[in-house]
Chain A
Amino acid sequence: MDISVLFFGILAEITGTNRKHYRDIISFGDLKQRIGDDFPEIVHYNFRIAVNNKIVNEDPLLRQYDEVAYLPPFAGG
């Protein structure tokens, strides 16, 4: 699967990017592993995951061209 990954807030800062594309992803676990390999420091931060604008649980089912977002704790208002 081709998956777009978005990073926000402090996670955009530590990864140095807002968006990264991943190819040949077989599952969310696989994607998580690849992101962890690219940005090992990410494990030190709190975040939730959204798939196509919806917050999801631990191990969401991904589909081709899904957009996965890494969301640090919110700070609006």
Chain B
Amino acid sequence: MHLINGPVTPGVISEIIAKGGENIECGAHSLFFGQVRRDQANGKFVRAIEYSAYEEMVITEADKIYKSILSEFDDVKTIEIIHSKGLVKAGEISLLVMVSAGHRDHAFKACAKTVELIKEKLPIWKKEIFEDNSGQWRENE
């Protein structure tokens, strides 16, 4: 689990994909990218999201997510999670999940489950920043 300052850049994404190639026993990598959406509220567009995190607890909770996914999906070999902290603009990536498995079935399912657990379990907060620099705290449903 990595928390990085600012967006998950194409450079970071290619590094993770290249690292996946080191798992030669894997036949499938499933990737999820969470992107900052240009939502609209009260006639104003979101220009960015400011993320903050309880970093120590993010690491311990992510470890529990890894253990839970690896015990539920026995074909999964590795799980990579990268989440942003700080400011991420609309259209930029704030979350990357990559699940590598022997075969596609567990790769797809475990990737989806990992994203759900991230939203539910990781102590991360976001504030939408609008074009006029006003802000609004959001929470996951």
Contact = CB atoms under 8 A, between A and B. Distances in A.
Contacts of A8: 52-54, 123, 125
Given A76-B83, A76-B124, A10 B119 contact: no
Instruction: Specify which of A13, A50, A77 lies most central, judged by the most chain B CB atoms within 10 Å of its CB.
Output: A77
A6 B52 contact: no
A76 B57 contact: no
B52 A53 contact: no
A74 B124 contact: yes
For the side of the interface on B, what is the size category?
Answer: 20 to 34
A11 B127 CA distance: 12
A42 interface: no
Given A50-B57, A53-B56, A53-B57, A75 B34 contact: no
Nearest to B59: A53
B6 to A, nearest CB: 16
B126 interface: yes
Interface stretch (A24-32, A33-41, A56-64, A65-73): A65-73
B47 to A, nearest CB: 17
A77 B139 contact: no
A69 B57 contact: yes
A74 B95 contact: no
Contacts of B126: 75-76
Contact of B123 (A10, A12, A13, A71): A71
Interface of B: 34, 51-54, 56-57, 60, 83, 94-95, 115, 118-127, 137-140
Interface of A: 6, 8-10, 12-13, 50, 53-54, 69, 71-77
